[in-house]
Structure 1
Amino acid sequence: MYQFVKYILLLFLASLILTSCRQKQGDKIKVGFSQAMTTDDWRKQMNSAIKIEASLRPEVDLKISDANNNIAKQIEDIERFISNKVDVIIVSPIQSKPLTAVVEKSIKAGIPVLVVDRKIEGENYTAYLGADNIEIGRIAARYIISHSKGSGKIIEITGAKGSSPAYERSLGFSQIISENKRFKIENTIQGDWEGESVKTPLKTILLQNPNVEYIFSQNDRMALSAWETAKTLGVENKIKFIGVDGLNTVNGGIELVKNGVLDGTILYPTGGNEALKLALKMYNKEPIPKNNILNTIVIDQNNAEIIENQMDKVDQQQAVIESQQGAIKVQEREYASQNNLVRLLSFFLVIILSLTIYSIYSTISISRKKKQLERINQTVIDQNNEIQEMAQIAQRSNEAKLNFFTGLSHEFKTPITLIMSYVESLIENEKIKGTALIDEVKLIHKNSNRLLRLINQLLDFRKIEEQKFTLRASNTKIYDFTNEVMTNFKGEAARRNIDFQLICKNKNLELCIDRGLMDKVYFNLLSNAFKFTPDNGKISISILENQDNTVRISFKDSGIGIPENELSNVFNPFFRASNNNKNSSGIGLHLSKEFVLLHQGTIELKSKQGTEFVITLLKGNSHLQPSEIVNNAENLNMTPNLISDNLDIETDVNQGIAISESEKHTLLVIEDNIDLVTFLKAKLSGEYVVYTSDGSDAIEKTMEIIPDIIICDINLVDKDGYEITKELKKDLRSSHIPIIILTAQSNKESVLKGLQSGVDQYLTKPFSLSILQQSVSSLLFNREKLRYYYTNNIYRVEPESKFGNQEQSFITKMNDIIKMNVENPKFSVEDLADKVGVSRVQLYRKVKAIIGINISDHINNVKLEKAAELLKSNNMNISEIAYSLGFSSPNYFSTAFKNKFGISPKEYKSSN
């Protein structure tokens, strides 16, 4: 029953669609019209005439393409008509020769071509329609000869070069003139059908030859321009002007004749309606002449008004026709809408009947199966509940195991990092260098690094599973990055006589990568290569730029390779190849692939005579999210200088980037344990200028040096770390300095007390040196962000803002004092320091630390802001403003103002 109803519906719907398609499509005659341009009224009238004629013939589908006087576009338009297989093509050529080939192509494709107005070279077209341009030239010449009463000197203004009407009109005109010896064409001006091309050359000719009697222009626009040029010389009444076109428009030929501007114009009919009639005859294969000539007449004062009235009546009739056609189209749309409505109602009626029948059948069928479905449904619900309960139990169990596993891995990191810190100190100890003990210490360091890397891999795997990785990419010279990582493996390569090479043509090539994550990818791939490559083998890294804006990084070795049937499983977690008899966690390659995918790259594996891993990365950073991109300064050198897994490589632990003393931040360590102070100073002196205090003079030393950051213990000689922190945070001179508490007290109450005293970071002993270094770096970075905030909001700090209360109060108070004294020329930095309650040196350091500029520049900026307000009010001149604000001279004021605002005070005042 259901199938029967479905078939009825489908049959009815198909018939409805087919009927609708037949009504919509029908058999249309497709006519393509390639118009040269529509920059003048004559072309617009041609388009209007052909559209009206097409509207009277519903069987015609007319498409008009405007070439905009561009030959290449006109050829392209005709090519499109040919490819769309129109029935007839009408062409109004821009120039004769360039369009000959494409017209011949249309004829060969079996599409007849009607050429209108202008001809092409040769006779390879179906028919031509237009006025006889040679005869138009002759008519103009005869008119001049019959009406001439003067010198007989004539100037001819032709159309564009290469245009057939221009050539033919000039030919006919010269034929008649040459037959009469009294008349002579004194000069010929090469125009381009537009008026502007006439003025300059005509003015020169008229100045040299004022006795010209007639000017014949090959269209009315150029004739009007010739008259305007003669008028500028005062000779417009001595010369008679003849034009061609005879349009009944504003500034058309008929109006110009009636107004006495032109002596006469030759009617050049557009032939729009005749063109479409001829096109339909060509489509129906009716016999038509090759050349179809439109009639023309001379329009002068005798008949201009009569012809204008006739043309007005034609225009009125055309307007009536267009109105009637619009009404017919409205009725057709209403009919089509009503017809569709009837069909739609019929369709719905069939659907309703079908659904009624189907509902009766369904009711009977459903009543039988209802009880059976209820039983099945209850069984499914019970089974689903059991599955969900089991899944929740399994998920809780799995989550508990993973949390224990992750927590235990984190517990391993702290003692290992502490071991490594002290082992590094032992390696640097001069007393054990050169002794047998140094090898044992390096072995401890190597295995500590190995264990730390394995633990980091396990934690990375957990983070990948939870999708907690965030890319921190920056522009990196990939050659230098690769070479730096390779340095850690060169000792092993030399020991085992392995040919270890880097191939790269462009050493300055930059990629946007997360150095920390990409370092892990490199280490995993190179560790595997060295692990499975025999002695005297070969390992190479090649970097190649591709033409598709990508870079290909290849890691190739001459090792044992991977069985072909196992290649697809290599990147799966915990996979181990059948020919791998070495210890392996099985997650290194899985992590490498995930890290490459985070960069929107790909990694592939090839294994023939060894193994080759190919990483493909995109150039630039447009493929990354803005949150994934950091500045080079923010992206710390994440490439760890660690010894690779299972390798006997010696490295210099303390390789760092040399920083000049003037560029270093200042750091004050307040600690009474001399050994710890010595250790911290040794470790941090490379990046910071380190000062120390045992706590007895902590406050005084802080006020003396105003450091960029402080590391402070709690248990000290005189005052504990909490008291020192409270005093420093309350003092205006030091409130901006970030403080890190470094203590063995790790209970909740101690941490809470430290945070309440105003510390910025609380770290417990035994501490990780890398965490301490990163904490210092992060706090300084946040201080830079605070400075950026004040620098960009320095003149609009609001009291209700919650961002940096101490610094905000200081800045607000300082700005208020400066603004109150901005017009006091004797107000100095010493006066300001005295009013805010600090010394001149402390004021300088405080302002420099918060907003990054010296106090003198800041005062000048406030004065310049006040100057801008005074310039806007327009009550004082520039010199008065300069002296009122304490500037030594107006010139110095103008220079300072332009440096700040980019324009001079005079320009600023004018613009406001």
Structure 2
Amino acid sequence: MMMISFIVVLGCSEKEHDKKIKIGFSQAMTTDEWRRQMNQSMMVEASLHPETELTIKDAHNDVKQQIKDIERLISEGVDILLVSPIEARPLDSVIKKALNQGVPVVAIDRKTDKEDFTAFIGADNIEVGRNAAKYIVANTRGVINIIEITGADASSPAYERSLGFKQIVDQNPQLKITDKIRGNWELPSAKSQLKALLAHRKETSYIFAHNDRMALGAWEAAKELGVEKNIKIIGVDALNTPNGGIELVKKGTLTATILYPNGGNEAIKLAITIHNREPFAKNNILNTIVVDRNNAEIIENQMDKVDQQQKVIEGQLEAIKIQEQEFSSQKHLVRLLSFFLATILALALYSIYSTVSLKKKKRQLEAINNTVTRQNNTLETMAEEARRNNEAKFSFFTGLSHEFKTPLTLIISYAESLIENEKIKGTRLMEEMKLIYTNSNRLLHLINQLLDFRKIEEQKFSLLTSRTNIYDFTLALMANFRAEATKRNIEFTVTCENRGIDIFIDHGLIDKVYFNLLSNAFKFTPDNGYIKIIIKETASQVKIIFRDSGIGIPEKELPQVFNPFFKASNNTKSSSGIGLNLAREFVVLHKGSLEVKSHHGTEFTLSLQKGTSHLTANEINRNEEDLKTGMLKLQEFVSSEPDVTTSINKNVNSEKYSLLIIEDHPDLVNFLDNKLGTDYNVTTSDGSDAVLCAIQNIPDIIICDINLKEIDGFEISRILKKDLRTSHIPIVMLTALSNKESMIKGLQAGVDSYLTKPFSLSVLQRTLENLLFNREKLRYYYTNNIYKVDPETRFGSLEQDFIAKMNTFITDNIDDPKFSVEELAEKMLVSRVQLYRKVKAILGINISDHISNIKLEQASEMLKGGNMNVSEVAYALGYSSPNYFSTAFKNKYGVSPKDYKTTG
């Protein structure tokens, strides 16, 4: 016990000793040597204080990133925060956040806009500017013309250096700042602008750059113009590095540079002072001096000695660090050895006593462990095999279900089309077509049942119940089976003592339970038999009994009836084996039960609870009114003309819109061709050449399936929407994939409408009409705005990019009478036919008329200007003769160019 206490005390003491001052530094960027030296001096100073832990985050000159870095340092629990701001204003709020959380903030080199920080350390940038100007005053006579190259506008050093420089200039009339160049602290920004400026500012005597990098850029610009010996250049920083300020002064590249200390080590000292609650100054200004040829070598020697001392210190610190690590390792090793020694001594007698027993138990445990390992491996293998089998089963059912939807589309669409035919209304054929339509939808119901099975397995179903009269509900669903009962002479009845029973059920799910139980009953009940539904009421439940005189189920197989894919041994009919499993799952969602027994037929008992106490608030639809009697009865199909709100059909004598159908099911292609061919010029593709077909024909609209042989519909849509030649074409996705993920993927691919199979032909027709109508509205917009929009003010769409680019080529060659449509198509990288169809589709006019309109539009502007006569305008716009120009102008504007010029 004493030993444990001793170890705990040692551990606590060590934790207390290891607690360090966390200093976080948000550096603006490290693209220059000055800031890298700041980071290095901080790390060296921090290493001299073992009680500190320094973290440096580089914002890479990105203000948003610096804000994120500061917030991350705050969340990591730093004790004090050092910040070198990129810009002053954006950091105010995040610095205030740190101060509100009790974290002191020290600004380095640059200040924030509101100066809401604990302390500032850095050189006085106003004094830097003053020193530069004072140096010019002290070393020159007469009128001096100066060019100033400033830093980035948003940074406080640039503003303050410029302010200090101007103060001295204003006090000395002989100094004159002739120009200011807005740099960004980097060499190229100064060089490119200054070179253009010096070409006509040959009287410049001095250049003051806000740092040595821009000063070097200024010297390079002057050298390229051959005036570097006539201009004296002053920089700021005075780094002791290759191409640093001191080296440039010694070489004569710069006349002088202002020493600008980075303050890295001073910042760490100040941070420790603030954390220890010792007195400190809010503004800590570092001294600056002017470095020229007189003192450059002296300062360089001093800096070299400092660098050497710093390297010695770093080496000593590294040696100390290694010794500390060795000492720490040895200390821990001693502790561990002491602990183990005590433990060994304490357990020695006991280990001798229990050696034999432990060996025996060890053998037993090894045997058990091997058995468990083998069983675990077996279980993992079985689980993986079960998962693969389950996934294969799900994929099979899902794929098969979607495959069924295409032929069903043909059956339902043809049936719907015939039902809408006025010639057969009221005939026996109409009733037969309705029967086909009803049973096709019943088949669709079975397909959806397969999809429901997967949803049940993945637990994607949710319950939403409504108050329902169960007797009326039962009658409505029985209506679906009346025709078959009559045809097979099956007694089909419902018995209910209380026809006013209301319970809360999810109509969609219980509808599927009824449908499954009744479908099975009719499947296995012979002709002239009976199927009875009996509704009984107890104090807390409603029981619906489905009783038939069918073949029944062997008694020993009854427990397996609700298992997925179960098929009774006496069942010779085709069956998926998932219907009863789904039915029970839907009933369980209602907190009810579904039971079965078989004796001279089969009897299923569906038990549902009364009231709402068994349901959650989210499972009850209280806003829905009570369902009325007969609400769920099968609605008769009523053929009616759709409400026509818009119409885009062309005149009888005009050409039809062109339609490209991309579908690999030949029967569906024939159906769509037959039904839509009267209104559209139809072209078809099985998908293998869909993109090529669309590019060659440039159709007005496209219908596309998803599951195709060589390339899917998503990829086809994506390619066509990214190609300037086809990007304007509306695409209707017609597919059996009805899940949300496929719809989202289709919209991401750029499709304009998404319809699922089976589909209504009238809905498809209306979708095509609406999309074409909307395109006509866009065409009107383009036609009335296209001459007012140049490439630099485009709207951003691919079509606008195309037209803007085309207009640029037309305008650039407007005075060339030989410029042809073929040349324009070549410049646009499309064929002449494709150019014609693209322009026709977007603007509604041919390319020749479009070129003529642009020329005449410019002609009207030139005539309004009044500086050119009609002949000059005609030749300037590439017309072969003034007479031809006059005729074209009068056809467009209704007056001759001469009259237009006079009246305009």
TM-score (norm 2): 0.46
Q: Which has the larger radius of gyration?
A: 1
TM-score (norm 1): 0.46
